[in-house]
Chains A and B, each alone.
Chain A
Amino acid sequence: MKTGLAASAAIHVAALTWGMWSLSSPHPLDATYSEALPVEIVMGDTFQGVKGEKTAPIREKPAPAPTKKPQTLPMPAENVGDNEADLKTPPVPEVRPNRSETQAASAPPPPPPPPAKTEPAPKPAEPVAKQEPAPEKAPEPKAEPKPKDDPIEEMIADAADSKPEEPTPPAHVPVPVKKPAAPAPQQVAEAKPTPQPSTSKQTSSSKTQADQSSDSKFNADQIAALLSQEKASGGGAKRSTEPAALGSRETTGSVLTRSELGELQGMIKDQMARCWSPPTGGTGADSVKISIKMELDPSGTLQGMPSIVSGGGGSGVERAAAEAALRAVRRCSPYNLPADKYQAWSEVTLNFDPSEMY
């Protein structure tokens, strides 16, 4: 019997030792007990307020579609021209025509010199002899303009003569340049013919009127002219180098990184934890899921009534749970959240899910 007992004891000791080792540490189940408050927070549209593409897939950072740049010089060119990029469109004058136009446009605005230029020109030639009495009103203008007239007139004459020529040389592009340039000389030509036919006071009166009118326009036009001296920059597209990603049409706010979003969610959760007690007991109390939408003002106080988005219908238990959740949302009301991210938490959806409690 002794041998049997000894053998049996040995077997049991061995079995128990093995059991201690193999059964001592079962793998814990994937239950997350740390999830104290099962409130899930859905921030409005995270990608709202940042420029991107409406149809593009979601990425970390919203971005508009990248702008395409035509291929530049080191490329097989097929069309004639001096362009950096090989375009099929015929070469068109680029810079000069613009300037001449702006000059032409600005030429009327600096009316103070022009009236003096264009009108005085006839005066000295014809009216000086004839109309000595008349110029009572405008002796000064005459006197002053006269000396100036010659150089300016020459200038204008030069301009009139040269303008048709000017556009051609500056334009990088050869032939068709002349056409756009044409309007500028026309204006000058119009200005010139008028003074020549007008012989008498009419001209002077017209001058004075023109002067007055030009004086009245002076300020605004002058400013416009000054402003327009600046090189005009066109309304080009903002360039994006990143691939297109979901976003809104315009940038209206700052985007939240994921960590910032998580931080915000954590703050709301923590604050909700103080106010919400999950429904206990009752059949199916655990399966009740309620989501509540609330709007907050920048100070963190509740704005308007929080509304139940889903859940809370049906049984009395569910209704009670929904009411409890609503009460919690109201009780917590002044939420303490970072004001600079108000864009993100202005509208918050809370999902209450008691089944995640245990």
Chain B
Amino acid sequence: MNEVAQSALAAPVGTISLWDLFWQASFIVKLVMLGLLGASVWTWAIIVDKTLLYGRFRRQLNKFENVFWSGQSLEELYHNLSERPASGMGALFVAAMREWKKSFEKGARSPLGLQTRIEKAMDVTLAREIDALESRLGFLATVGSAAPFIGLFGTVIGIMTSFQAIAASKQTNLAVVAPGIAEALLATAIGLVAAIPAVIAYNKLTSDAGKLGNRLEAFADEFSAILSRQIDEKTSR
């Protein structure tokens, strides 16, 4: 009787801060929590990085399109761009122009082959650019779908451990049970905290990347049409 009362009083009622919950957890639960925390950190790193990258990319596209449609000669533009590594539309343009120049400098006279080669070169560059845009988005998808399960795993393990402890101490006092369950639930909480932003960001970023990719593809098609017309003009002479 008195023992129960004393243990109830002695139970750690006040020590349930986040840190205490983490520190009192079992090894596996700690591991799960740390892993989820790392995943969350990486998720947010990707989100920040991609948001900045897409902004930059979009600005570059706008700038290039302005320059491209300003009536500047393609040769001049190529000279300006080829001096430094370009990205986005610039890279597409440089790749196409490089292939064009190589073909004419060597005096190859097969217009069909030239057309095909230019398109291939542009395809490769396009694929690389889109890859760069969409890189690491897969991690967000993984975190978004897997983090809740990982957190749940931690919770199950934690509750299992605390029930074993209850069975060992032969007390059903809520003050004895509660801390273990609280720390177990913390794992699920961290899992959800990591997963929710990951899912939202994944949807947003993939749609953004898709839009940018479409713009690149449209430009590639347009540019290849321009080059094709040029080839026809040169060969028909």
Spell out A's residues near B (CB within 8 Å). 1, 3-5, 7-9, 11-12, 16, 19-20, 23-26, 28, 31, 33-34, 36-37, 273-274, 276-278, 357-358
CB distance from A1 to the nearest CB of B (A): 5
> What is the CA–CA distance of A276 and B37 in the complex, to the nearest angstrom?
50
Nearest A residue to B44, CB-CB:
A8
> What is the CA–CA distance of A5 and B40 in the complex, to the nearest angstrom?
11
CB distance from A275 to the nearest CB of B (A): 9
Q: Is B16 engaged at the interface, CB distance under 8 Å to the other chain?
A: yes
> What is the CA–CA distance of A278 and B172 in the complex, to the nearest angstrom?
14
Tell whether, in the assembled complex, residue A25 and residue B2 are in contact, meaning their CB atoms are under 8 Å apart: no
Give the residue of B2, B17, B46 whose beta carbon is less than 8 angstroms from that of A273: B2
B230 proximity list for chain A (CB < 8 A): none
Tell whether, in the assembled complex, residue A34 and residue B9 are in contact, meaning their CB atoms are under 8 Å apart: yes
Q: Is B149 engaged at the interface, CB distance under 8 Å to the other chain?
A: no
A19 proximity list for chain B (CB < 8 A): 18
Nearest B residue to A278, CB-CB:
B1
Tell whether, in the assembled complex, residue A36 and residue B48 are in contact, meaning their CB atoms are under 8 Å apart: no
14 additional contacts (CB under 8 A) given A8-B48, A274-B1: A1-B49, A3-B48, A3-B52, A4-B48, A4-B52, A8-B43, A8-B47, A20-B18, A24-B19, A25-B14, A28-B13, A37-B5, A357-B4, A358-B173
B40 proximity list for chain A (CB < 8 A): 12
CB distance from A14 to the nearest CB of B (A): 11
B132 proximity list for chain A (CB < 8 A): none
Tell whether, in the assembled complex, residue A5 and residue B45 are in contact, meaning their CB atoms are under 8 Å apart: yes
| Closest 7 pairs (CB-CB, A-B) | A4-B49, A24-B17, A36-B5, A8-B44, A8-B45, A4-B48, A5-B45
Q: B14-31: contact bitstring with A at CB < 8 Å (1 yes, 0 no)?
A: 101111000000000000
B9 proximity list for chain A (CB < 8 A): 33-34
Tell whether, in the assembled complex, residue A33 and residue B175 are in contact, meaning their CB atoms are under 8 Å apart: yes
A277 proximity list for chain B (CB < 8 A): 1
Tell whether, in the assembled complex, residue A8 and residue B174 are in contact, meaning their CB atoms are under 8 Å apart: no
Q: A1-B49, A24-B17 are in contact. Are A37 and B1 (CB under 8 A)?
A: yes
Q: Is B199 engaged at the interface, CB distance under 8 Å to the other chain?
A: no
B4 proximity list for chain A (CB < 8 A): 36, 357
B45 proximity list for chain A (CB < 8 A): 1, 4-5, 7-9
- The B interface, classified by DSSP as helix, strand, loop or mixed, is helix
B174 proximity list for chain A (CB < 8 A): 31, 358
A36 proximity list for chain B (CB < 8 A): 1-2, 4-5
CB distance from A131 to the nearest CB of B (A): 102
Q: B131-171: contact bitstring with A at CB < 8 Å (1 yes, 0 no)?
A: 00000000000000000000000000000000000000000
Tell whether, in the assembled complex, residue A4 and residue B47 are in contact, meaning their CB atoms are under 8 Å apart: yes
B1 proximity list for chain A (CB < 8 A): 36-37, 273-274, 276-278
Nearest B residue to A7, CB-CB:
B48
Q: Is B41 engaged at the interface, CB distance under 8 Å to the other chain?
A: yes
Tell whether, in the assembled complex, residue A12 and residue B44 are in contact, meaning their CB atoms are under 8 Å apart: yes
A5 proximity list for chain B (CB < 8 A): 41-42, 45, 49
CB distance from A60 to the nearest CB of B (A): 32
B173 proximity list for chain A (CB < 8 A): 358
> What is the CA–CA distance of A357 and B46 in the complex, to the nearest angstrom?
52
CB distance from A7 to the nearest CB of B (A): 4
Tell whether, in the assembled complex, residue B14 and residue A11 are in contact, meaning their CB atoms are under 8 Å apart: no
